[in-house]
Amino acid sequence: MNINSLTTAEEKLMTVLWKLNSFYMKNVMEEHPEPKPHQNTVSTYLKILVEKGYLTTEKEGRIFKYSVVIPYEDYRSFVLRNFLKQFCNNSTEELIGLLEDEKMLQPQVVKSKVKPVSTPEKKKKKQRFKIADEILKSAKKKKKKKK
């Protein structure tokens, strides 16, 4: 699925639309926080969001019913990946460092959330120990049988 970037205004409107999921213009106007934009403004943004692929329309008589196409989780992932690429050289370590520098993340939280990465070397060592354990077990069994 190809996701296009949103302007700040489009993103603010989409936060309302993601909550509604399927809606009519009147629902948007009711749910939009104050200060409410003019209905023509919302209508223009809805048209743009349809063109960008965020919404679909279904005509019901003289009005349109809109439905969200791109889920919030997909958009959030898209924004995070773009941020990582643009501001952190595609490095999660740099992102975590930035969050710590900005006092947005405590080091102890990172330690509790990050799981150690299993490298191929560690896997080989585990396999070696597993093989060694099997050899030792079979040797112990042979000694017991001989007694």
Tens digits of residue pLDDT in 111-142? 776 666 666 665 555 555 666 666 666 555 55
Q: Where are the domains of the chain?
A: 8-70, 73-114, 120-147
Query: Which pLDDT band holds residue 1 (cuts at 50, 70, 90)?
Result: low
3-state SS, residue 19: helix
Count, residues in the chain: 147
Q: Domain 8-70: which topology?
A: Arc Repressor Mutant, subunit A (1.10.10)
Global pTM exceeds 0.85: no
Nearest Cα residue to 15 out of 24, 25, 30, 28 = 28
